[in-house]
Structure 1
Amino acid sequence: MFSLTKNTGRQGEIIEVVFRNGWDYMRGLLTGGKAGEPRLPSPEVLCNILIELGPVYVKLGQLLSTRPDILSAKYIDKLTDLQANVPPVPWSEVELQLQKELKQPIEAIFARVDTQAVAAGSIGQVHRAALRNGREVALKVQRPGIEVVVSQDIALIKGLAELVSLTEFGKDFDIVALADEFTTALKAELDFTTEAQYTNQLRRNLSKTGWFDPKRVVVPEVYWEVTTPKVLTIEWLDGVPLLDSELAKSGREEKFAKQRQEVTTLLFRAFLQQIYLDGFFHADPHPGNLFYLDDGRIALLDCGMVGRLDPRSQQILTEMLLAVVDLDAQRCSQLTLELAESGQPQSLERLESDFDRMLRKYHNLSIAQINFSEVFYEVLQLSRNNSIRLPSSMGLYAKALANLEGVARSFDPEVNFLDEVKPLMTDLFRRQLLGENPLQTALRTALDLKSLSLRSPRQFELLLDRLSSETLKWNFTIKELDPLRRSLDDSANRLSFSILVGSLIMGAAIISSGAQTSQLSLVSNILFAVATLLGLWLVVSILKSGRLR
């Protein structure tokens, strides 16, 4: 609660926005109310609140849109389109920021800088410029003073997370860790060198491939000599958003159909390589980040949000794709549990039943009619309903797939996701099985087999020795055994107390019947009193346990 009182001015602004939009739950939290179970407003109201709260909360909403494992699809759809309604910073402030970061006059580095911003976002704004060597560049400059606002809002976000963590929802989703994850991502957004590194890695990965012509896919070059934590300078690419291109506007004209199909295939192959081979992918391929260049190439822009998948997750997701195609509910359940970070379903039968009910919707549909990104969103929803926590990378994976498939269907309505994947499956399985270097994988496997063959006789001999000497021990873990053991312990304890109470009563009766002195009568009374107290305690404990019958 302490962190909520650090920035009372900012907290007052937030309370005012929340009051105005009628979010009762958050209003109660901010005014010191009890943290009950979270109640979100409608997606539209939530977006309005985030926009009014300013750039940091807009960015938070955009980060939340990458977590369909936490929020339902209707919230994800709204948050995905969330954009900060912020005017560009005046050029005089931007100029001061540039000089401060680059530590020399702007004229010494740039031949020209357009003072009118091309685009303005929640963290920075973009200007077109030209270096002294004549190269056209896009200059992204951080909004002056944004780091102060971010640090204040991060403190409030963490304070609210601590309150919500007291609820069942907060415990189920480890809301404090989630807030830490979001605040780390927000801080990373303030360091433009991180985005520059991501851009460089994607550029390197896509320049080496056997799945498509690497010359037809472009990731802008980073100019490191003019890049700092608050200034990012990248190659300027002439083009338009893919869905605004002449190809996209040509509709169903026959002469453009083949060209559209080629671009769609190129787009899918570029992203399938990132996801299933590289394990490092552009996680935000929305229409504004996919450009159709004047020379016919496809450009991937704004590489600040990326996802990562380890080889095991890549393999499981490939198998999940096949299980969905086969409408195999049991296999989908098994693969979901293999992906899980923590949590087990209360009932495996219920999980399989949920998958069966979900996949049954697609029984009468052709493969072309199945929206695979929608299926993966439903997989995340089923996991959430069954208290299974999947890695956060699964949210980025589902979001990237949803954006990619959405753009592809808008660009080419005839697209079939599976038709794009099928030609790559054989190569994909070969690479996952043998790796990039089959000879090296074969040699490693041969060494493992040799080591196993050398150890096996000795291990078998030890097993026989233990069997013959009767020293072999078996360790079993039986589910639900602990509650049974505790129940037996309770029963044994109560039986012991019952015997003790009976013994005290009998002893007291014997002493009382033969008592000749006042001392013996006193001992008899004490024994009766102790037996009575123990008996009452035993009866009360049985009644409180609720197991009288």
Structure 2
Amino acid sequence: MATFEEFVKVAEISLKDKTSHKRMNEIIHIMREYHVMRGLTPEKAVEVLQALGPTYVKIGQLASNRSDLLPKAYCDAFEKLRDDVNPMPFDQVIEQIDRAYQASWHTVFASIDPEPLGAASIAQVHKAQLLDGTTVAVKVRRPGVAEDMAEDIMLMKHLLAVGEFASNAHRDILLSLEGFVEEIERTTANEVDFTHELGNLVRFHQEIADEKDVTSPVPYPAFSTESVLVMEFVQGTEIADTAALRDQGISVKRLAERVCQSYVTQVLDHGFFHADPHPGNILVRDGEVVWIDLGMVGSLTVSERMLVGKVFTAVATGNAYLLKEALMGLVRVRGPVDHGALLDSLGRLLVEYSTAEMKEINVGTVLTEVIEILRNQNLVMVSSVTMLARGFVTIEGVIAHLSPDTSVIEIVSKHVITQQADPQYLATKAFDLITSSAESVEALAKLPTQLSNTLEMIDRGQIKVNADVDVSSRILATIYASVGRLSLALLSAGLFLGSSILCTTHMEPQLLGVPLLGVLGYLGAFVLGAYTVFRIMVSRHRLLNNEEPR
């Protein structure tokens, strides 16, 4: 039976959805026109997606990375959707630019090349010259694309809501599709608004500034709007054109290592990475790697970067426990989790890769398989890591084409080891350790009181258990004595830690250049520690001589 919540969800989407009926008719018409029911060749599938519009072109682009789900022929065909899209007429381009500036394009540009440099589902790029003669690239959004994509996404949401309401069968599939639609909605919302890409360009260019022979286009914020983006014109060789690169005297092996190292640095050092690193988005200009098209980027927090580093370390060392620990910090729980079965599945996955040489391990493939294992345990990976998995699948394809002997996992492992020796990383780890220690000490400090209260309640019969518990006075006395000594030990440890922190300061008054309060703290810690050890030895003596504990 459908729940009331599902009913409300369908009703809410139905009230918001004013266009699905019309759009559904358009989709059915296109399906009939291309005789979809008779079967689809990879080439015809590309034509159908192009006819359906930019949303479905975007789905095809994402699907081109899923060779684990689709036949290779279809993945190869969908690759064409990245750049091989029918361009819009030049007069439409001019109209869009004039509308964005609310003035003639002549107020900004001296000239615009009518022939596009590239055409994609959302926008196309033209070479142009500013009034001062600077050569730039101008990215212009297709008219109505934002509205069309919003309509398609609303239709998908409507169909999924109806599917959930109508049947509880295949609920896992519906949840996966719902997550996919949410991801499409989020990424397309950022891609159709060029102010997001402008911010990406500014940040990305700044963060890779220190990398040798790696750069990205310089943005021009003064001439950019929501639908027009102006950036440095980059003329170079596409990284997949290995013949042209070799003709230029470039070592493709060293180039592959540089590209891979740059991508790993983006992920683990900056936490801000190119989420669509296909060959068309990586150019080589005079031996320099240029990352272009920052419409899709991923972002990781500091803690997420550290957890991702643990995931890579666990995969490289075959440590299932470390892998599970790291993954649990990167997921959202959607239902009951069998932690034993999860650990077993992760262990079996790592065993499969343990027999392979490290250079044969594909990071993207491993991450994709891990995500599937988590999904089976009602765990959903955060979107940034899902995006990272797809990014690694793509970049490993680029690296494999350039230099099959170059191992991405080896470069990642070396980077993680180097990163762990970095002072900033050590400072972060030290802070985490201090925080965890403080929480542990606080919990331990509460333990004696909690244990004492629990024993009192047991003694008074206020706690009932499914057994006859007869706690003798001698046992209670022993427990109370042990709790007391544990408390003294904790106080001694707390005084020692506090005094150590005080001694790093310049607090007055001082004794021999050391804060007096710190010295007194050390003295108190020593006295308490010595007394605790003395009481333990006395208790041991009484126990051996069968005397009553005190």
Q: TM-score under structure 1 normalisation? A: 0.70
Please say if residues 58 and 84 of structure 1, whose CA atoms lie closer than 8 Å, have aligned partners that are also in contact: no
Equivalent residue number for residue 109 of structure 2: 110
> C-alpha distance in 1, partners of 2:379/2:348?
18
Q: Sort the Cα spacing of 1:108 and 1:356 in 2 relative to 1 into closer, same or farther, 3 A.
A: same
Please say if residues 248 and 411 of structure 1, whose CA atoms lie closer than 8 Å, have aligned partners that are also in contact: no
Q: Secondary structure at the match of 2:379?
A: coil
Q: What is the Cα deviation at residue 175 of structure 1?
A: 4.6
Q: Deviations over 1:384-414 (max 9, x none)?
A: 3444322222221111111111111211222
Q: Secondary structure at the match of 2:401?
A: helix
Please say if residues 51 and 84 of structure 1, whose CA atoms lie closer than 8 Å, have aligned partners that are also in contact: no
State whether structure 2 residue 188 is matched by structure 1 residue 186. yes
Q: Deviations over 1:310-355 (max 9, x none)?
A: 2333223222222222334454445444433114676445444444
Q: What is the Cα deviation at residue 364 of structure 1?
A: 3.6
Code of the aligned partner of 2:86: P
State whether structure 2 residue 277 is matched by structure 1 residue 275. no
State whether structure 2 residue 412 is matched by structure 1 residue 421. yes
Which residue of 216, 220, 224 maps to 1:223?
A: 220
State whether structure 2 residue 291 is matched by structure 1 residue 300. yes
> C-alpha distance in 1, partners of 2:128/2:244?
29
Q: Secondary structure at the match of 2:287?
A: coil
Q: Sort the Cα spacing of 1:450 and 1:96 in 2 relative to 1 into closer, same or farther, 3 A.
A: closer
Which residue of 25, 30, 33 maps to 1:17?
A: 30
State whether structure 2 residue 66 is matched by structure 1 residue 90. no
Please say if residues 4 and 160 of structure 1, whose CA atoms lie closer than 8 Å, have aligned partners that are also in contact: no
> C-alpha distance in 2, partners of 1:322/1:181?
28
> C-alpha distance in 2, partners of 1:451/1:374?
37
Q: Sort the Cα spacing of 1:371 and 1:64 in 2 relative to 1 into closer, same or farther, 3 A.
A: closer
Please say if residues 419 and 425 of structure 2, whose CA atoms lie closer than 8 Å, have aligned partners that are also in contact: no
5+ residue gaps, structure 2, are 1-9, 465-550
Which residue of 254, 258, 263 maps to 1:266?
A: 258
Q: What is the Cα deviation at residue 465 of structure 1?
A: 6.4
> C-alpha distance in 1, partners of 2:350/2:276?
27
Q: Sort the Cα spacing of 1:163 and 1:443 in 2 relative to 1 into closer, same or farther, 3 A.
A: closer
Q: Sort the Cα spacing of 1:74 and 1:384 in 2 relative to 1 into closer, same or farther, 3 A.
A: farther
Equivalent residue number for residue 282 of structure 2: 290
Indicate the percent of aligned positions where both proteins have the same amino acid: 25
Q: Secondary structure at the match of 1:207?
A: coil
Please say if residues 136 and 235 of structure 1, whose CA atoms lie closer than 8 Å, have aligned partners that are also in contact: yes
Q: Sort the Cα spacing of 1:23 and 1:354 in 2 relative to 1 into closer, same or farther, 3 A.
A: farther
Q: Deviations over 1:346-383 (max 9, x none)?
A: 64454444444444443443222222322222222333
State whether structure 2 residue 380 is matched by structure 1 residue 389. yes
Equivalent residue number for residue 523 of structure 2: none
Q: Sort the Cα spacing of 1:443 and 1:43 in 2 relative to 1 into closer, same or farther, 3 A.
A: same
Please say if residues 123 and 143 of structure 1, whose CA atoms lie closer than 8 Å, have aligned partners that are also in contact: yes
> C-alpha distance in 1, partners of 2:411/2:182?
38
State whether structure 2 residue 435 is matched by structure 1 residue 435. no
Q: What is the Cα deviation at residue 307 of structure 1?
A: 1.1
Q: Sort the Cα spacing of 1:113 and 1:246 in 2 relative to 1 into closer, same or farther, 3 A.
A: same
Per chain length, whose mean CA-contact separation is higher, i.e. which structure has more relative contact order (CA < 8 Å, sep 6+)? 1
Q: Sort the Cα spacing of 1:429 and 1:326 in 2 relative to 1 into closer, same or farther, 3 A.
A: same
Worse overlay, 136-145 or 73-82: 73-82
Code of the aligned partner of 1:195: E
Please say if residues 219 and 230 of structure 2, whose CA atoms lie closer than 8 Å, have aligned partners that are also in contact: yes
Q: Secondary structure at the match of 1:389?
A: strand
Q: Secondary structure at the match of 2:393?
A: helix
> C-alpha distance in 1, partners of 2:121/2:360?
37
Which residue of 169, 173, 176 maps to 2:175?
A: 173
> C-alpha distance in 2, partners of 1:81/1:475?
70
Larger radius of gyration: 1
> C-alpha distance in 2, partners of 1:334/1:464?
29
Q: What is the Cα deviation at residue 269 of structure 1?
A: 1.8
Alignment of 1:319-398 (within 5 A): 319-343=310-334, 347-398=338-389
Q: What is the Cα deviation at residue 442 of structure 1?
A: 5.7
Code of the aligned partner of 1:272: V
Which residue of 234, 239, 246 maps to 1:237?
A: 234
> C-alpha distance in 2, partners of 1:329/1:104?
61
Q: How many residues align?
A: 445
> C-alpha distance in 2, partners of 1:12/1:21?
14
> C-alpha distance in 1, partners of 2:432/2:322?
30
Q: What is the Cα deviation at residue 130 of structure 1?
A: 0.9
> C-alpha distance in 1, partners of 2:184/2:463?
42
Alignment of 1:107-186 (within 5 A): 107-166=106-165, 167=167, 168-170=169-171, 173=175, 175-176=177-178, 178-186=180-188
Q: Secondary structure at the match of 1:138?
A: strand
Q: Deviations over 1:431-456 (max 9, x none)?
A: 5xx63683x87689779978987x78
> C-alpha distance in 1, partners of 2:152/2:372?
29
